């Protein structure tokens, strides 16, 4: 019997609704697919990395907590683990997204000496990619001729097309030299795709080295991409489509960060 079957059986015995059973098994399946390790005992670091990857993918606090509850239930009620999973995700606040200025982005890139890592960060910013989209990007997804990237099965299992920065064509071609269309663009030193954690650590190190003090994360590259497009005069509907936002209201958060009308108002303090 598989882990998912064990979970489903336990939920049925406790008379959980079909909706809850489907939700919990779906969440747990995603966790298993993301981690691919021994699941007999909970690994708190792996669970945290998984939850952070959901956060980086713009999942709502409710969705993240649903995944966390499914994992807790599995280990507590199915595996009868004595290890306490004391992890709590707070509700998302109404804070504005952290956006790096164009100069911040340049300083960040200048601080990265590893060519592959520098290209990775440049691509994440230049194409507005989520961390999971960078990790899962394959060579065949990039159209160098039309300067576009086909993002497959992104958030909500939806495909979308985003732009590709012409500035890094040569660097990316060097990185992927000899690769097949099915190969991941960014491969870890041990082979296979890079992990969410490695990208987060890479970004944190570059941020510190560049001297930027803003509380930015890897996802701030995507926030900055959207904000700078709006500053360039790109219609918000196009920005919405490029980012893959289902609702225009999600994209509108960036208009609060970049508001020319406010920027042109002078303070009365002279």
Burial class (CB in 10 A: 0-12, 13-18, 19+), 77: middle
pLDDT tens-digit map of 153-179: 776 567 899 999 999 999 999 999 999
- Tokens of residue 38, six digits: 């021994």
Provide the CB-side half-sphere exposure for 218 (13 A, CA): 29
CA distance 10 to 4: 10
Just list the catalytic residues. Answer: 130, 155, 219, 222, 245, 254
Look at the pTM and tell me if it is higher than 0.85.
Answer: no
Q: Length of the chain, please?
A: 270
Same domain, 62 and 140: no
Q: Which domain holds residue 68?
A: 3-78
CATH code: domain of residue 7: 1.10.150.130
Contact 108, 220 (CB under 8 A): no
How many domains does the chain fold into? 2
Residues 107, 213, single domain; the answer is yes
Residues 233-247 pLDDT 10s: 899 999 999 998 888
- Pair (9, 43) in one structural domain: yes
Tokens of 137: 């990007």
In terms of domains, do 123 and 215 share one?
yes
Residue 95 domain-assigned (yes or no): no
pLDDT in tens, 107-119: 999 999 999 999 9
Q: Is 91 domain-assigned?
A: no
């Amino acid at each position: 019997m598989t882990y998912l079957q064990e979970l489903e059986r336990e939920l049925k015995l406790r008379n959980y609704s079909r909706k809850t059973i489907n939700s919990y098994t779906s969440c747990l399946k995603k966790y298993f697919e993301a981690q691919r390790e021994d699941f007999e005992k909970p690994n708190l670091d792996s669970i945290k990395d998984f939850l952070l990857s959901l956060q980086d993918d713009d999942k709502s606090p409710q969705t993240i907590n649903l995944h966390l509850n499914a994992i807790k239930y599995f280990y507590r009620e199915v595996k009868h683990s004595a290890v306490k999973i004391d992890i709590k995700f707070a509700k998302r606040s109404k804070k504005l997204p952290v956006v790096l200025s164009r100069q911040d982005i340049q300083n960040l890139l200048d601080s990265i000496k590893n060519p592959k890592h520098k290209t990775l960060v440049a691509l994440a910013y230049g194409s507005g990619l989520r961390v999971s989209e960078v990790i899962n990007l394959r060579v065949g997804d990039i159209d160098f001729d039309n300067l576009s990237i086909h993002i497959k099965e992104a958030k909500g299992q939806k495909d979308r097309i985003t732009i590709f920065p012409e500035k890094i064509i040569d660097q990316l071609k060097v990185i992927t030299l000899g690769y097949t269309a099915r190969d991941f663009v960014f491969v870890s030193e041990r082979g296979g795709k890079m992990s969410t954690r490695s990208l987060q650590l890479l970004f944190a190190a570059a941020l510190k080295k560049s001297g930027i003090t803003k509380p930015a994360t890897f996802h701030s590259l995507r926030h900055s991409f959207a904000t700078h497009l709006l500053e360039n005069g790109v219609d918000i509907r196009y920005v919405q489509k490029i980012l893959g936002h289902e609702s225009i209201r999600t994209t509108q958060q960036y208009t609060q960060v970049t508001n020319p009308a406010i920027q042109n108002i002078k303070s009365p303090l002279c």
